[in-house]
Amino acid sequence: MKEPQSSRRGFLKAAAGMTAVAAAAPALLASQSSKNGNFYGYEEKVVGLASKIKGAGEMDFNYPDVDSPCKAVMVNGQIKAYSLLCTHKGCPIMYNATKKAFRCPCHFSEFDAQLDGQMIIGQATENIPEILVKIEDDKIIAYGVNGLIYGRESNIKG
Amino acid sequence: MGFSINDKRPLPPVGATKKNITCEFCIVGCGYTAYKWPKGTSGSDKRNALGVDFSKQQPALGVWASEQMVNSVIDRDGKEYNVMVIPDQNCVVNLGQNSARGGAMAATLYSKSTFTRDRLKDPQVYGGNNLNRTTWGDATDLAARVLKKIIDNDGPDQIAFKAFDHGGGGGGYENTWGTGKLFFKAIQTRSAAIHNRPAYNSEVHATREMGIGELNTSYYDTELSDTIFVIGANPYETQSNLFIMHWAQNLQGGTIDAKKKEFDRGETAESGKIIFVDPRVTSSITNAVALAGKDNVLHLRIKPGTDVTLMNALFTYIHEKGWEAKDFIKKHTENFKKTANANAVSLRKASKVTGISVSDIKKAASWIAKPKKSGHRPRTAIYYEKGIIWGIKNYENVASIANLAILTQSVGRVGTGVCRLGGHQEGYVRPETPEGMPGRKNLVVIDAEAAEGNYLAFFAWGCNPFVDSIMGERLATSIKRRSDIVKKAMSRNIGADNETMADAIYRACKYDGGLFMIDIDIYPTFKSEVAHVEFPAATTMEMNLTSMNGERRVRLSEKIVDAPGTAKPDCLIAAEIANAIKSLYKKEGNTKMAKRFEGFNWKTEEDAFNDGFAGQGAKMDSQGGPTGVLASYDLLRANGNNGVQNPIKKVSNGKLVGTRRLYTDNKFGTKSGKAMFQPTPQPPMPRQVKNQMKKYEFWVNSGRVNEVWQSNYHTSRLPMPSTRWPIAPMEINPKDAHAKGISNGDLVMLHNDYGSIRVVAYVTDSTRSGELFVAFGFPNSPLNNLVTDFVDPDTKIPFYKGTAASMRKIGRVEDIANTMSFKSRI
């Protein structure tokens, strides 16, 4: 994969080190995945504890694999989770807990965490993919993705 | 959305058909690459036409196709294909970047399984309370018979037409030439109006008369500017990739090395600064602050309608400080002293009129004109758009900005320019009528005339006059009434042959006040409800199409799919109509008139291009100019998505070579070759608008939201924009919302003497108390309904941005209130 055309345009300061951000997101509890109960080929995976997120307000995880950073947030009294890769050009989006919205530092697209990731403003052609989660015995279980994750032709690789 | 269908995209196999596409939307004209391959075949994640290994997660800013970038189509061969349209990494305009609009081009393709399925597919003729699909021969014959009767008995000026004059989708050099040749050379009517305004005029008469074409610099030059001065424009939302790919780079200091290379020896080269003149806080302004820091962004939050005073104050202060380009003014301009005297205004007075502090006016002047540390004149690029063009008085608004540019020599030099930012791309090449068009002061306001009962036939071609004209509600009501008169006459003649029917139509128009309506478009609109004959057009990706972007860059956007049904490129529709009229004249032996309709023997859009842009050169009013004749489809294809910047200089080794920047030799487009200053007194508030301000509570400004394009024809059919903006939003300040008991998502009626619309309330600090901002271009809540009939008497350009209305809270429609976000966009 060649780098974006002009390095004279390797431009936006905020974008610097973005690949590192994507890679650095920890694969929380990755071992606790299940081959059972999958949905359209997605594996169910325990990604965290509901009790913890209720206190912290947000939690990073990876789903459906280690290369796909995601964040779960408390909004409207429930846990919602989204991909952290902007659907415009793949920069890591940042969560604003006050606004309950994600903002991309590269080209300023914003997505509403309270409205299924709807783009508030910006240059993406898609809303941010929602990671479908359910709670069982305090465990947050990811079981699917609604929307194509940036940088993939298929959410499930291979 | 269901996740069984949107978590996987097909990939083009190696060897898939690959074409260059220029974005059909805004003036920036980004380059895209389209791939097409038979359904059922696919590239693999490792081996595909994109050359990208999708078994690995792609890095940011890489090559990727989002959901909207892929579609499936059925061509006229009956076979199904997948089509992918992605931004081109090698195009110098956008370097692989898409906007929210262009990125959805694949989704705009005609598909039987999406909301684009209602594309117009075949010609239609009114009968039995409906439009009925028919053949091209039948529809053109009926239209031709009516038009011929009008030409013969009443003269061609009784045939009015309102049509695109631009590039991009719904335009292009092929189609402006085809339609222009039909109306001006063959029919020879002078009753013409342009798609978004009620007369046949330029939006920039002033700058042209001052000797400066409105698109005189390059996007690269704006990367080199010391100061970018933006007046009445919101480029993050409306010229997105110019802002994101070029200005952002400059504002962040990413182009300092390039500046050092291009500037004079020893000249200071630093990060760019940016000034905005806007009554609103826009996303462009807040994003500029994020890029450049607040110390390098200046927002002059102007009172509506006072831009001329601000420009005059900047002019006066720069002159007082001795920062004007003295040598340049002496050698290359005229009318300086007279203008300086006429425009002189004290900073104190200007501050009072505009609402901008004296210190901010001084700061802006110093950013624009104060010599840099090295003593060199700053390089200022000045950009304006609809906030000025559609402002209080078009001529003076534009002229006052051009004055400032000439004063500071912000034209012709590296890093400078005085340009409109533009809406759509350009694509003008048209003949004139034998008598010539009336001068700008004598232009007829076609839409108002039609509403008042003038004309016997009216073409609405590739535009929606009921969304894009003055006093929209009155216009729609009147046209509907006049259309119904013709419909009744047609209903009385059910089963008649075309000659009998044409006669009935003609009589209804001539004697009963009817208006024969011909609609040419790609989708049904309100026009379909008033049309008697309707022709289906092809658009971008369905035809080869050439246009010019905001830096005069011409590209060949190639055909990749078939248009739906029997839809044709507009140039070939014009040819069908001309040939049908010619054949009627021939039949009656009128060779003189038949000859007038000759010259439409085109088989393809390339024939129209070769006849127009590449065929006329200096003979016609063409953006190609005399050297346009050097262009051909083959040469443009060879230059790919980077095309060539008009005017073409030469062909060198099979490549077209163009012009980066205009006026580098200081020779301007006036008789004397000198740039002409123009006195620009502050225009008064027009009487009609003043009356509305007296009677109604809120000032109403208007503009764009980035996902919605023109009259929302494509974008209202796409999943994301249609959910984001189901109807037009009305931005209202929290203080006003509180006083009116209005919350986010409330449905509000705005009304004044001219009409009313329903909009959805969006509470935001973007707008000031007492001022509303309503999104423009929504057919289901057309802001134009509130616009007065005022036009600048000197140019006939409307004051779309200025009216007043009162509001009434209607209540809530939960499907609107609960499905769109109301979070701050700034």
Q: How far is A117 from chain B (nearest CA, A)?
A: 10
* Candidate from A9, A123, A152 with C-beta closest to B100: A123
Task: Write the CB contacts of A28 (distance below 8 Å, at least 6 apart in sequence).
Answer: A47, A48, A59, A60, A61, A62
Across residues B271-289, what is the average pLDDT?
98
pLDDT tens track for B540-559: 999 999 999 999 999 999 99
Q: How far apart are CA B414 and CA B820, in angstroms?
A: 44
Map tokens 């080794």 to a residue. B653
* pLDDT tens digits, one per residue of B448-507: 999 999 999 999 999 999 998 998 888 999 999 999 999 999 999 999 999 999 999 999
CB B62 within 8 A of CB B53: no
Q: Distance, in angstroms, between B111 CA and closest chain A CA?
A: 18
Q: How confident is the model at residue B424 (pLDDT cuts 50, 70, 90)?
A: very high
pLDDT at A24: 36
Q: Are A122 and B100 an interchain contact pair (Cβ–Cβ within 8 Å)?
A: yes
Given CB atoms, is A128 within the 8 Å cutoff of chain B?
no
Sheet containing A110-112: give its strands across.
Answer: A94-96, A101-103, A110-112, A118-121
Residues of chain A with pLDDT under 70: 1-39, 158
Q: Note whether B85 and B32 are within 8 A (CB).
A: yes
Residues B698-721: tens digit of each pLDDT: 999 999 999 999 999 999 999 999
Nearest to A111 by CA among A131, A137, A133, A84: A84
Whether the upstream peptide bond of residue A64 has omega within 30° of 0, thus cis, is yes
CATH number given to B687-817: 2.40.40.20
The closest CB to that of A157, out of B10, B55, B821, belongs to: B55
Q: Is B240 within 8 Å of chain A by CB?
A: yes
pLDDT in tens, B134-186: 999 999 999 999 999 999 999 999 999 999 999 998 899 999 999 999 999 99
Q: Does B71 touch chain A (CB under 8 A)?
A: no
Please state the rounded mean pLDDT for residues B427-447: 90
A148·B66 Cβ contact <8 A: yes
Q: How far apart are CA B357 and CA B337, in angstroms?
A: 27
Domain boundaries, chain A: 7-146
Do A18 and B7 lie within an 8 Å CB cutoff?
Answer: no
Suggest the residue from B5, B7, B47, B69 to mutate for an interface test with chain A (most A CBs closer than 10 A). Answer: B7
pLDDT in tens, B298-331: 999 999 999 999 999 999 999 999 999 999 999 9
Between CA B647 and CA B553 the distance in angstroms is: 9
The separation between CA B486 and the C-alpha centre of its own chain, rounded to angstroms, equals 32
Which class would CATH give B205-420?
alpha beta
How high is the mean pLDDT of chain B?
Answer: 96
pLDDT at A158: 65
Q: Would you say A63 and A130 are in contact if contact means Cβ atoms under 8 Å apart? A: no
Q: Is B806 exposed, middle or buried (0-12, 13-18, 19+ CB in 10 A)?
A: middle
Task: Return phi, psi of residue B236, to 5°.
Answer: -60, -35
Angle formed at CA B161 by CA B157 and CA B164, multiple of 5 degrees = 145
Put simply, the answer to whether A145 touches B3 (Cβ < 8 Å) is yes
DSSP per position, B52-74? --TTSPPPTTS----GGGEEEEE
What number of other Cβ atoms are within 10 A of residue B621's Cβ?
14
Is residue B614 within 8 A of residue B627, CB to CB? The reply is no
End-to-end CA distance of chain A: 18
Tell me the ipTM for this assembly.
0.96
* CB contact residues (below 8 A), chain A span 62-121, against chain B: 67-68, 85-92, 99-101, 106-108, 110, 112, 114-115, 118-121
Number of helices and strands (H, E) in chain B? 30, 31
Please indicate whether, in this complex, the C-beta atoms of B97 and A19 are within 8 angstroms of each other. Answer: no
**For residue B608, is pLDDT > 80?**
yes
Distance (Å) from the C-alpha of residue A29 to the closest C-alpha of chain B? Answer: 21
- Asked if residue B113 has pLDDT above 60, the reply is yes
Residue A29 at interface with chain B, using a CB cutoff of 8 Å: no
Nearest CA in chain A to B255: A8
> Residues B657-672: what's their mean pLDDT?
98
Residue B244 has pLDDT above 80, yes or no: yes
Q: Do A138 and A46 contact (CB within 8 A), yes or no? A: no
Contact B7 A145 (CB under 8 A): yes
Residues B182 and B570: their CA atoms lie apart, in Å, by 11
Contacts of B140 (CB under 8 A, 6+ apart): B123, B576, B577, B579, B580
Chain A interface disruption, residue of B1, B3, B9, B764, most A CBs within 10 A: B3
Comparing CA positions, the residue from B193, B711, B803 lying closest to residue B467 is: B711
B124-199+444-645: what CATH class?
Answer: alpha beta
Radius of gyration from C-alpha coordinates of chain B: 26
CA distance A71 to chain B (A): 18
Nearest-neighbour CA in chain B from A115: distance (Å): 7
pLDDT at B436: 85
CB A49 within 8 A of CB A69: no
If we measure between CA atoms, which residue out of B620, B673, B629, B621 comes closest to residue B648?
A: B629
Top residue of A86, A111, A148 to mutate, by most chain B CBs within 10 Å, is A148
Nearest to B283 among A9, A112, A121 (CB): A121
Q: Report residue B627: phi and psi, to 5°.
A: -90, 5
- CA dihedral sign of residues B421, B424, B427, B430: negative
Residues of A forming the active site:
88, 107
High-pLDDT (> 90) share of chain B, %: 95
Average pLDDT estimate for B558-577 = 98
Q: What angle do CA B55, B58, B60 make, to 5 degrees?
A: 170
pLDDT band at B6 (very low <50, low <70, confident <90, very high): low
pLDDT for the residue A39: 60
Return the number of other C-beta atoms located less than 10 Å from residue B457's C-beta.
Answer: 30
Q: Output the pLDDT for position A38.
A: 52
Q: Which one, of B768, B579, B677, lies nearest residue B207 by Cα?
A: B677
Of A40, A87, A151, Cβ closest to residue B3: A40
B1 pLDDT tier (thresholds 50, 70, 90): very low
**End-to-end C-alpha distance for chain B, whole angstroms:** 28
Answer yes or no: do B60 and A19 touch at CB < 8 A: yes
- What's the CATH fold of domain A7-146? Rieske Iron-sulfur Protein (2.102.10)
CATH number for the domain running over B17-108: 2.60.40.4210
Write down the domain spans for chain B: 17-108, 124-199+444-645, 205-420, 687-817
Q: Write the pLDDT tens digit of every residue in B54-87.
A: 999 999 999 999 999 999 999 999 999 999 999 9
Which residue is associated with the tokens 């890769």? A85
